[in-house]
């Protein structure tokens, strides 16, 4: 028998779940229409009043919200609660210079902790577990999101955050960590470091790994389970919608991620036409938040590609399952857990004197760590300068990218006109990672 955190809600029969969704949807539409000029404008333009929505099918008549809309509303214009009710602010990568900002009311933070506690229980975690939380703490939602859920559940959480792997291994060993939370690629990097340090994962107490925030595969799952000697499960979330804990794979079924439908309504659309797709069809995930107060989002286009599975799950939860994410419908990259848009790198490059707007990003994975090489053309004048000048320019660009985006890269300056031009869409990214 599976354990639940909110048994009544997690196992709600579909009809009751949908009735709850409709009630909450109508409520959130009223709220955003009254408080957010963007939504009032978008609904007016579509000729729909909140009171016109009478069934979940009517959701399809509402306009989408995109990352661009969030950018245009930077920083707070999409907030539906007054600033003095916002108790936390997080942010994630925007498509160019400015991040996407999200605000939480006290109730939002409570709901997030509850949903994250539910997510942990779904993964087989319980009170008494020691959770080694190596997701980053800060503006990124991973660290604090998992942390608050672990405390809400009553498990012991170690707020180790990312980095300093040798120390992480020592703490895992000495503190008896039973659950590991981090990106899947970082877990494999830990395995390599452990080998070098002579630590055998089989002697550790780790039982469960909760991995997400970047794409991975079933092949990677097998490798992680073998090397770290634990059960590896997939967790999905995004800052715009809440953070980690939007959807979680259950330990019983280990086949798809239950998205918490009492708080979020998922739809799958064709990314080109915007038409809704049926069960099992792969397309872009669109999410409507139905309980959030700080920044509720209506039909938010996540850009993540997946499908929905309504079949009954062995765990007894009735919430629909998302298939493992298989890519994105935009060009966002996730490099060492950091979301990066090529356009962000471009906007850094164009600000630097002597650098041409022709560049190529080459991503690889070496010893389980992502690497990023930025090849960029410089003008004739710079290229004929001394090596020292070129080197210092390259270091300066590397530093700018690190300061603005938080990712480490190596910059290779190349001669003018050496990066291949294209007549159509230019190819700016070569991703050699094999997940
Ligand atoms: O990555 C939140 C999170 C933290 C999720 C910890 C899971 C664990 P963002 O930084 O806003 O938030 O990035 C969200 O990451 O749209 C996906 O493209 C990708 N992503 C997140 N989880 C998965 C996953 C956090 N399990 C973006 N598989 C999302 C594939 C994932 N991609």
Delimit the domains of the chain by residue range: 7-329, 335-431
Q: Which residues pair with 308 in a beta bridge?
A: 322
Confidence bin at 425 (pLDDT 50/70/90): low
pLDDT level of residue 421 (50, 70, 90 thresholds): confident
49 against 367, higher pLDDT: 49
Q: In degrees to the nearest 10, what's the CA dihedral of 265, 270, 272, 273?
A: -90
Q: Using the predicted structure, report yes or no on whether residue 211 has a pLDDT greater than 80.
A: yes
Q: What is the mean pLDDT of residues 161-184?
A: 96
Which residue ranges have their beta carbon within 6 Å of ligand 1?
A: 92, 135, 140-142, 212-215, 234-239, 243-244, 302, 304, 325, 328, 334, 339
CA-proximal residue: ligand 1, atom 15 (nearest): 213
Are 342 and 328 in contact by the 8 Å Cβ rule? The answer is no
Q: Do residues 241 and 302 lie in contact, with contact meaning Cβ atoms separated by under 8 Å?
A: yes
Whether the per-residue pLDDT at 381 is higher than 90: the answer is no
CATH number of 7-329: 3.40.50.12780
Asked if 243 contacts 141 with a C-beta cutoff of 8 angstroms, the reply is yes
Band (pLDDT 50/70/90 cuts) for residue 94 is confident
- What is the distance in A from the centroid of ligand 1 to the CA of 202? 29
User: Which residue has a Cα nearest atom 16 of ligand 1?
Assistant: 238
pLDDT greater than 90 at residue 97 = no
Distance 244 CA to ligand 1 centre (A): 7
- For 35-65, the three-class secondary structure string (H helix, E strand, C coil) is HCHHHHHHHHHHCCCHHHCCCHHHHHHCCCE
The rounded mean pLDDT for the chain is 95
Probe target for ligand 1 pocket from 112, 209, 212, 241, with the most ligand atoms within 8 Å of CB: 212
- The rounded distance, in Å, linking the Cα atoms of 93 and 80 is 21
Mean pLDDT for the stretch of residues 294-316: 98
CA-nearest residue, atom 6 of ligand 1? 142
Distance 355 CA to ligand 1 centre (A): 33
What global pTM score does this model have?
0.94
Q: Tell me which of 266 and 383 has the higher pLDDT.
A: 266
Superfamily of the domain at 335-431: ANL, C-terminal domain (3.30.300.30)
pLDDT of 162 higher than 70: yes
């Amino acid at each position: 028998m599976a354990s639940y955190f909110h048994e009544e809600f997690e196992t709600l029969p579909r009809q009751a779940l949908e009735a709850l969704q409709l009630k909450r949807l109508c409520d959130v539409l009223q709220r955003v229409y009254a408080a957010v000029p963007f939504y009032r404008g978008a609904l007016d333009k579509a000729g729909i009043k909140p009171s016109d929505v009478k069934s979940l099918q009517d959701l399809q008549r509402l306009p989408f919200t995109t990352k661009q809309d969030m950018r245009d509303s930077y920083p707070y214009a999409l907030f539906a609660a007054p600033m003095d009710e916002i108790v936390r602010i997080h942010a994630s990568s925007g498509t160019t210079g400015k991040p996407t900002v999200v605000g939480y009311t006290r109730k939002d933070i409570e709901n997030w902790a509850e949903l994250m506690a539910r997510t942990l229980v779904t993964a087989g975690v319980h009170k008494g577990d020691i959770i080694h939380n190596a997701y980053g703490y800060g503006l990124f939602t991973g660290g604090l999101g998992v942390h608050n859920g672990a405390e809400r559940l009553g498990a012991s959480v170690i707020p180790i955050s990312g980095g300093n792997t040798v120390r992480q291994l020592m703490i895992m060993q000495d503190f008896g960590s039973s659950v590991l939370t981090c990106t899947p690629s970082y877990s494999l990097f830990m395995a390599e470091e452990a080998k070098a340090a002579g630590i055998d994962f089989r002697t550790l107490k780790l039982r469960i790994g909760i991995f997400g925030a970047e794409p991975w595969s079933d092949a990677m799952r097998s490798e992680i389970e073998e090397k770290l000697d634990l059960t590896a499960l997939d967790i999905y979330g995004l800052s715009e919608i809440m953070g980690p804990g939007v959807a979680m794979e259950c330990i019983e079924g280990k086949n798809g991620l239950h998205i918490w439908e009492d708080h979020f309504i998922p739809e799958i659309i064709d990314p080109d036409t915007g038409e809704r797709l049926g069960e099992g069809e792969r397309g872009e995930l669109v999410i409507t938040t139905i309980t959030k107060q700080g920044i509720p989002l209506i039909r938010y286009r996540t850009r993540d590609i997946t499908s929905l599975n309504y079949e009954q799950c062995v765990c007894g939860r009735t919430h629909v399952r998302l298939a493992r994410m298989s890519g994105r419908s935009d060009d966002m990259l996730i490099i060492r857990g950091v979301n990066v848009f090529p356009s962000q790198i471009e906007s850094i490059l164009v600000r630097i004197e002597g650098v041409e707007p022709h560049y190529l990003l080459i991503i690889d994975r070496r010893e389980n760590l992502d690497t990023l090489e930025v090849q960029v053309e410089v003008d004739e004048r710079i290229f004929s300068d001394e090596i020292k000048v070129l080197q210092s320019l390259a270091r300066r660009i590397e530093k700018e990218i690190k300061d603005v985006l938080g990712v480490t890269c190596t910059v290779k300056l190349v001669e003018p006109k050496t990066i291949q031009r294209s007549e159509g869409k230019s190819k700016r990214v070569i991703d050699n990672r094999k997940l």
